[in-house]
Structure 1
Amino acid sequence: MVEFATDALGTSHLRRAVSVIHGNEPSRYIVAPNGIKRIGAPGGAVVPCHPMAYPYLVRFCHKPDNVQALSVELIGEAGGEGGATAVAVCHSNTSTWDNRYFEMLKAARGEEICHFMPQNYLLWVSEGAQ
């Protein structure tokens, strides 16, 4: 996984980004004030790694084009303790995606689509990127 990310990003200085839940998990989240910041370089210099359905841990890693990765600070809607730091990925060019995604998301082809990465996913960026 690290070798692929190193080759895909062109550097051995990698930083890992993951979604993390802090404290108690609230039932609903909202984005914290000033809670969104860019991760990695604009234009897709990220390598996400998704777990696959195998009897042991296997991850599928790839370097998608036309993506923007974000770190999003979330807080519980009702206040109190708990929250999360979530990794989000926005795909700006979805023109080649399978129609099933658009049906599932009730979106149109070519529309920008953003999603959070679950806790067991990894996102690799070059270490110098913010």
Structure 2
Amino acid sequence: MKKTYSRSHANRGAVLERLIDMTNNQYRNKGVADIRKVPTPVQITGNKAGKVTSYTQKGEWVDYVGIIESRTIVFDAKETSERTNFPLKNISEHQYELLKSWHQKGAHAFLLVSFTKLDEIKYIFWQLKR
């Protein structure tokens, strides 16, 4: 089954990703941190006459991982058009479990959420009730 996407859907989050990548490059250049984007897995399904066909596999990871001040950092970048809240349905179960697990082991685990209508990015810490 072939999926088609609108340009706006395909580019969703691209501005946020560029901002994060630029910031991470600055951190790396200054020796403050080394945080990298985790590539989205792609399955190649064919190659006919130089035309490659593929599909994006469901990721098992979050968007970014790295190290800062000798501590692991792991986070996912999300975008919402909501004005006042972030729907939890936007976090997949595997992302939730990964952030939870890494947080329990001492990593900085969080979400960066872009509220597009407000033109704001919020840093949402991962916290567990003990």
What TM-score results when the alignment is normalised by the length of structure 1?
Answer: 0.26
More strand by share: 1
Which protein, 1 or 2, shows the higher relative CO under an 8 Å CA cutoff with sep ≥ 6?
1
What TM-score results when the alignment is normalised by the length of structure 2?
Answer: 0.26
